[in-house]
Amino acid sequence: METAAENKKFDRTKAFKIFGIVLAFLCVLALIYWFIFSRNSESADDAYVAGSQVQIVAQIEGAIAAVNVSETQAVKEGQVLFKIDPTEAKIASEKADIDLLNAYLEYQKRNSLQGDAAVSREELDHSYLNLRKLTENVRQAYINLLRAEVQSPTNAILAKRYAQIGQRVAPGTVLGLLVAKDEIWVDANFKEDQLRNIRVGQPVKLESDIYGGKIEYRGIVVGFAPGTGSTLALLPAQNATGNWVKVVQRLPVRIALDGEQLKGFPLRIGLSMNVKVDTSNHTGMPLQAMESGISQDTNIYLKQYELAESHINSILHR
């Protein structure tokens, strides 16, 4: 008969065999998973949401008369964010209007006498040039008056408001900071040894800590930064000092997001993301630059010019 000690020894050996079989099975599964899924992908959790930031600046001098927005508020293109006291601009505009009207009447009078010995061609030309000069003055003065109402150049969210009621501002004074709502992307900082297989156009899966694994964003690689963060810093690292220690560098990779998904599940700049790039398609060159970026424009300045032209025409056709 076997003793209890011999039975215990036999059970331990059997357990180690089972453990070894299970471990080998798991290793095989891990190898299969890597070969099928991970071999053609690169992941990073050092990734953050970025977006276009737009400074709102004063274009005329004066005191802030009204503040119409608060931080975190959504604004639309053309919406009046701040009002600068228009008194000085209005006085200047009205004076320019009177000067233009008088110059216009003078030119009409001289033009009607063209050919008469009392009016020379040189006098008529001088009167016309003076009319043109005053027309430019009226245009600029009226645009300055319109700029007393500081408008949003795009659909955005007010991130920071610096202007306060009664504050005296000059042209160039920053009044606020906007973040464009429709211009959001992700900058993923991949290690150097991860970049060899990443190409422009490759699909990307992203997750945000806000929504967790419930929401999987779709993205696409659109470009690479021209340098690492350390080289593009205000004070770049100086490695030729004799105290150099090699550190694995990271290069920002820009990933465009699906705009439709952002409408249902919005993100804010600075939020962290988990990124996984499908690198199975190796078409293209490594570290390829972005071929075309996001186009930005606004119509508010063109509208101000058109309003100024309409104002000039109203004066000349009185």
d(CA 22, CA 16): 10
Specify the residue for token string 């056709």. Answer: 317
Q: 3-state DSSP call for residue 252?
A: strand
Q: Fill in the DSSP letter of residue 288.
A: P
Nearest-angstrom CA–CA distance, 274 and 93: 56
Residues 6+ apart with CB under 8 A from 54: 153, 154, 156, 177, 178, 179, 180
Give the global pTM.
0.77
Full DSSP string of 28-72: HHHHHHHHHTGGGEEEEEEEEEEEEEEEEE-SS-EEEEEE---TT
User: Which neighbouring-strand residues pair with 121?
Assistant: none
pLDDT score, position 113? 75
Beta carbons of 217 and 257 less than 8 angstroms apart: yes
Instruction: Give the angle subtended at the CA of 198 by the CAs of 211 and 251, to the nearest 5°.
Output: 75
Backbone angles phi, psi at 250, to 5 degrees: -120, 140
* Integer Cα distance of 90 and 67 in angstroms: 20
- C-beta atoms surrounding 313 within 10 Å: 10
Report yes or no: 164 and 64 within 8 Å, Cβ to Cβ. Answer: yes
Report pLDDT for 111: 78
Q: List the chain domain ranges.
A: 52-178+298-316
What pLDDT sits at residue 142?
Answer: 97
pLDDT value at position 189? Answer: 93
What is the total residue count of the chain? Answer: 318
Reading the block at residue 65, the tokens are 């008369």
Tell me how far apart the alpha carbons of residues 64 and 164 are, in angstroms, rounded to a whole number: 7
Nearest to 316 by CA among 42, 117, 99: 99
CATH architecture of the domain formed by 52-178+298-316 = Beta Barrel (2.40)
Q: pLDDT under 70 in the chain at which residues?
A: 1-12, 30, 32-39, 114-118, 229-235, 237-242, 293
275 close to 188: Cβ distance less than 8 angstroms: yes
Of 288, 318, 315, the C-alpha closest to 135 is: 315
